A and B are shown apart, each in its own frame.
Chain A
Amino acid sequence: DQQVKQNSPSLSVQEGRISILNCDYTNSMFDYFLWYKKYPAEGPTFLISISSIKDKNEDGRFTVFLNKSAKHLSLHIVPSQPGDSAVYFCAASKGGADGLTFGKGTHLIIQP
C-alpha cells in the first residue's frame, strides 16, 4: 500500500531549464510534506517543506507547490544545475514528530 507515490523513476532535464518533480499521496491525514535530495552512498538531505495550510513555499531555486484537493505536490527547480543530479524523495508526515512516509524517489539527471 503505497501512500506516497512518485510515478517517474527518472527524469532528464537540460542544464538551465526547469525541473519539475511530481508526487501524489493517498492519505488525507498527511498534513506536512517534505522533499529530500540524496546522492549515492549518502543520507538524504532536507531541501524544502510545506504545510498543508499553504499551497506554495519557495526557497531560492526551489519551489514546492501543494494541491490539496488533488492530493498532489510538485517540486520545481529553476534553473537546473549539474549539481542537482541526484535522487529526490517526497515524504509526508501525519503531524507532530511521527515517522515520515517516503515515496520511491525520482532520479533527476541534469544534462549539459
Chain B
Amino acid sequence: NAGVMQNPRHLVRRRGQEARLRCSPMKGHSHVYWYRQLPEEGLKFMVYLQKENIIDESGMPKERFSAEFPKEGPSILRIQQVVRGDSAAYFCASSRGVSSYEQYFGPGTRLTVT
C-alpha cells in the first residue's frame, strides 16, 4: 500500500491520559500535515512538518498538543492530558514538496475521550 498510513484507526483514552497518533507519508513525500475534524465540521489545519522541522504550527492549540517528524520513522501527533473536547477525527496528509499543492490524506485516527 503506497498511500498515507495512519495508526491506530481508533483510539479510546480516558480524560487525563496521553494520546499518540502516527502517520507514515506516501513514498517520495517529504511534507506532512495534520488536520482535525470535529463532528459536522470541515477539516482544520493544525501543523505542517518536514523531516526534523516544524514549518507551520499556527493551527495547533498552545497547550497539550505537540508534533514531530523525526529523521527516521513516522510523524507523531501527541496530545497530553486529553479532555472530552479532543474527541475528533485526526487526519494526516502528505505532499511531495514546496511546488506541489496537492495533499494526499490517510484514513484518519478517530480519537474518543471518555
* A residues adjacent to B (C-beta < 8 A): 4, 6, 32, 34, 36, 41-46, 49, 89, 91, 93, 96-105
Contact check, A97 vs B48: say whether CB atoms are below 8 A apart: yes
Total A-B contacts with CB atoms under 8 angstroms apart: 71
Q: How many residues of B contact A (CB 8 A)?
A: 34
Considering the chains assembled together, what is the distance between the CA atoms of A98 and B99 in angstroms? 10
Chain B residues closer than 8 Å to A44, beta-carbon distance: 43, 91, 105
Give, as a whole number of angstroms, the nearest-CB distance from A89 to chain B.
6
The digit string for B38-69, where 1 denotes a CB below 8 A from any CB of A, is 00111111111000000110110000000000
Chain B residues closer than 8 Å to A89, beta-carbon distance: 42-43
Contact check, A102 vs B104: say whether CB atoms are below 8 A apart: no
Chain B residues closer than 8 Å to A99, beta-carbon distance: 33, 35, 45-48, 56, 58-59
* Nearest opposing residue in chain B for A89, CB measure: B42
Considering the chains assembled together, what is the distance between the CA atoms of A45 and B35 in angstroms? 14
* B residues adjacent to A (C-beta < 8 A): 4, 6, 31, 33, 35, 40-48, 55-56, 58-59, 91, 93, 95, 97-108, 110
Considering the chains assembled together, what is the distance between the CA atoms of A4 and B59 in angstroms? 16
Contact check, A32 vs B108: say whether CB atoms are below 8 A apart: no
Contact check, B56 vs A98: say whether CB atoms are below 8 A apart: yes
Give, as a whole number of angstroms, the nearest-CB distance from A71 to chain B.
17
Q: List 23 A-B contacts (CB under 8 A).
A: A34-B103, A36-B105, A41-B110, A42-B107, A42-B108, A43-B4, A43-B6, A43-B91, A43-B93, A43-B105, A43-B107, A44-B105, A46-B103, A97-B31, A97-B48, A97-B100, A97-B101, A99-B35, A100-B43, A101-B45, A102-B35, A102-B42, A102-B45
